[in-house]
Chains A and B, each alone.
Chain A
Amino acid sequence: MKKIISGNEAIALGFGDSGGVFASGYPGTPSTETLEEVARLGDVYCEWAPNEKVALESVIGASIAGGRSLSTMKHVGVNVAADALLTLTYTGVNGGLILMVSDDPGMHSSQNEQDSRNYAKFAKVPMLDPSDSQEAYDMVRIGFEISEQFDTPLMLRTTTRISHAKGAVVQQEKIAPQIGEWVKDVPKYVMLPNFGKLKHIEVEARLLKLQEYAETSPLNRVEMRDTELGIITSGVSYQHVREAYPNASILKLGLIHPLPMRKISEFAASVQRLVVVEEMDAIFEEQIRANGIEVEIGKNKLPLCGEINADILRTAIDGTRLEAVSPVEGLPQRPPVFCPSCAHRGLFTILSKLKVFVSGDIGCYTLGALPPMNAMHSVIDMGASISAAHGMAKVNAIAGRTEKPVAVIGDSTFFHSGMTGLMSMAYNGGNALVIIMDNRTTGMTGGQENPGTGLTLQGDDARQVEIAPLVKALGIDNVAELDAYDLKATEAAIKKGLETPGPYVLIDKNPCILRYKIRKPAIHVDQDKCTGCRACLKVACMALGLTASGEKQKVRVDPNVCNGCGICTQMCKFDAMHELEGANNANL
């Protein structure tokens, strides 16, 4: 029976149907739903790891113990797991091992636009690149077969338009969980230099064997049509090519590393114009050109940044484009914003007021960088808030500056890689205020469990890590609680943290209102008392707005949106904002 499912759901289903026994990953858009769907299958073990390195290493162990296993992460997660990956390629596998990585061309929800195909080259491992949900499903099974046949980890790469696009999928017959022997094999699994040297030779030989496999595998398919135009492509770009040039001949690559150079050469010789279509880096094109094959159109006309679509292809290849009216200009932007009644709003209202330098991190609180808060001044990668604040403080001390930097980080990001930075700050005599917004969820990716939530991915009870004792154990003496809903107390706590020399940690334990479905009665504005001073608007809440233009504009609260946290009421100097009696918000 056909199902309509996303690429992520398809990979999860493929894992369950292809004998998968162990899966581990860390949430990250657009990869997150894959592991959540594995959990929904119910009969396959899976878990969230605190970070991608731990996830991949656990999966390596699962493979050594003989189980077919899967690790899932977003593109930047592979940077965290790269240490494991670059040596895993030497040891190879026992049970089949797939590393699923989701790229985000167009940066819909990411801090950079890196192309993970570089990792397949770098790690010298095979990589599959599905072009729709059906292929995503099928490639899990064939991926395990390749992994086991060639004794190699395999990367299964998606992009946002594969992970989150839904299409029809027909399932294959489900096979039983695949678990082999657990064997001690020192030269295979212990990468001392002497063993590693031998393994490196094997890796290079393996790559040649994989290239031969790629030449004949149906994963790389020639679709001969009109020979005037020939296009080499893969992934979602294949779909855009079919859309723009239904009559063109296509070499559709499914196994994209190593490339089938003979097949590419034959295809190039059989068409008049050769075009290479790939999103982001010129991975195919550079290799094709290096083999002496002439490419008429590649990155000379197609973008290195952002996504490709049929219109961009037509413009690049023959200069025609769809007649589209331009977007309406000058409309108010609608950027993402803290949810109504989120505790982050209270924190950033005060940080914005105090005008301190905030070293930020990856999570919902990154939105504190946007207007009108403008209260986050650097965001690099997971965990960097604390370690970067430490570096800033050291240079500030050398420069004779007195201002103390503030780091802001969430619970899941702290568990991921904030802890090590804080340990370094304690060890190296640092001087920053660290605010941990412990809302007991991995918020920005949709509310996943983590070591602090008390539940596992599969819904079982788990040990809950308490952050305050952990912070003390890392060597921080000054640890205090924070309640970001109380603006005065928050300001006082932050000031105290800034005035006290040395590392200082504040922990806010208000839970995520979205994840824990917290509902409160809406606030009402007394129009007789409101002077229209707009002080409350500084909290940047969607529930607030001005009354219709005309005479003096006053503030009104949309009761469908307001969730009654009372942060705005603390900004009002005219006692105009109160809880609306008896009425609960209808829309949330």
Chain B
Amino acid sequence: MQIFNIVIAGVGGQGVLMASKVLAESALASNMDVKQNEVHGMAQRGGSVISFVRIGEQVNSPVVMPGSADLLISFEPLEALRYIHYLKPGGRLVYNRVSINPSTVAAGLAVYPDDVEQQIAAACAEAQGIDALSIAREAGNGKAVNMVMVGTVMKHLPLKEEIITEVVKQISQHKGVEVNLKALAGGAAA
């Protein structure tokens, strides 16, 4: 099979790394080769975060290059636009419509563009925006945005939904299991 390239983008603190872990563990549980890679460190402090997951029979490089992603998952609209050039022609984008101000905007040094979603739609024909924060809150915790996003993209992955659900069950802390599974289901229905 061809390598399936996923890019996950968001803001430090949104749970991009946990979502990446779910996808990577699910690939392993499906007997596929997988490499997952992100850059952390300074990115923890509200900065832009980007993570790569590559799934296939044999995966060498841990890096997804611009123009080669099958799927871009963005936890924030501006970050979707920032990394939209990673998509290959015909690639798919799923993004959370809830925006978070960059510090530059918060400080009045820059303006958050009011046409981000229009720009996304113009750049990507296969874009789907969801209100992941509301779905996460309905599931019981606003922090479960990451599991909502995983839920929404499940049907587009070369992975079985049952396997992803099982992985989420395994890696959630006890009291988080219920919320995460609800978030996953809520995302899938979005």
Contact = CB atoms under 8 A, between A and B. Distances in A.
Interface of A: 2-4, 29-30, 108-109, 132, 160-161, 164-168, 236, 239-240, 242-243, 307, 309-311, 322-328, 331-339, 364, 367, 371-372, 444-446, 534, 537-538, 540-546, 548-549, 558, 560-561, 586-587
A160 B27 CA distance: 23
A372 B40 contact: no
A39 B71 CA distance: 36
Contacts of A243: 60-61
B25 interface: yes
B114 A548 contact: yes
Closest 9 CB pairs of A and B: A324-B67, A109-B41, A336-B47, A165-B62, A29-B41, A332-B110, A337-B103, A334-B102, A336-B45
A542 B63 CA distance: 30
Contact of B65 (A168, A236, A311, A371): A311
Given A164-B40, A335-B103, A549-B114, A324 B62 contact: no
Contacts of A168: 28, 33-34
Interface in B20-73: 24-25, 27-28, 33-48, 59-63, 65-68
Interface of B: 11-12, 24-25, 27-28, 33-48, 59-63, 65-68, 78-79, 81-82, 84-85, 100-114, 119, 123, 133, 137, 142-143
Nearest to A364: B45
B104 A335 contact: yes
Contacts of A160: 39
B171 to A, nearest CB: 11
Contacts of B67: 322-325
Contact of B62 (A167, A445, A540): A167
Nearest to A541: B106
A398 B133 CA distance: 60
A322 B42 contact: no
Given A334-B46, A371-B109, 16 more contacts: A4-B27, A164-B39, A168-B34, A243-B61, A324-B66, A328-B82, A332-B112, A334-B48, A336-B45, A534-B108, A540-B103, A540-B107, A542-B103, A544-B107, A586-B137, A587-B142
11 contacts: A164-B39, A165-B62, A239-B62, A309-B61, A310-B61, A332-B111, A338-B45, A371-B107, A445-B41, A534-B108, A558-B101
A440 B43 CA distance: 21
Contacts of B110: 332-333
Contacts of B47: 334-337
Given A4-B25, A545-B101, A372 B109 contact: yes
A331 B81 contact: yes
A372 B82 contact: no
Contacts of B46: 334, 336-337, 339, 542
Contact of B107 (A311, A328, A538): A538
A328 B106 CA distance: 21
Contacts of B28: 2-4, 168
Given A240-B63, A543-B106, A586-B137, A328 B42 contact: no
Contacts of B63: 161, 240, 307, 309-310
Contacts of B27: 4
Nearest to A544: B106
Nearest to B3: A243
A587 B101 contact: no
A413 to B, nearest CB: 15
B123 A336 contact: no
B142 A586 contact: yes
A334 B103 CA distance: 6
A560 B39 contact: no
Contacts of B106: 537, 540-545
Contacts of A132: 35
A132 to B, nearest CB: 8
Interface centre among B33, B101, B137, B142 (most CB of A within 10 A): B101
A371 B63 CA distance: 31
Nearest to B20: A166
Contacts of A446: 44
B82 A327 contact: yes
Nearest to A237: B61
Contacts of B59: 167
A500 B39 CA distance: 44
Nearest to A106: B39
B142 A542 contact: no
Q: Which of B36, B63, B111, B113 has the most CB of A within 10 A?
A: B63
A558 B103 CA distance: 13
A164 B48 CA distance: 17
A444 B41 CA distance: 7
B42 A444 contact: yes
A339 B47 CA distance: 10
Nearest to A331: B82
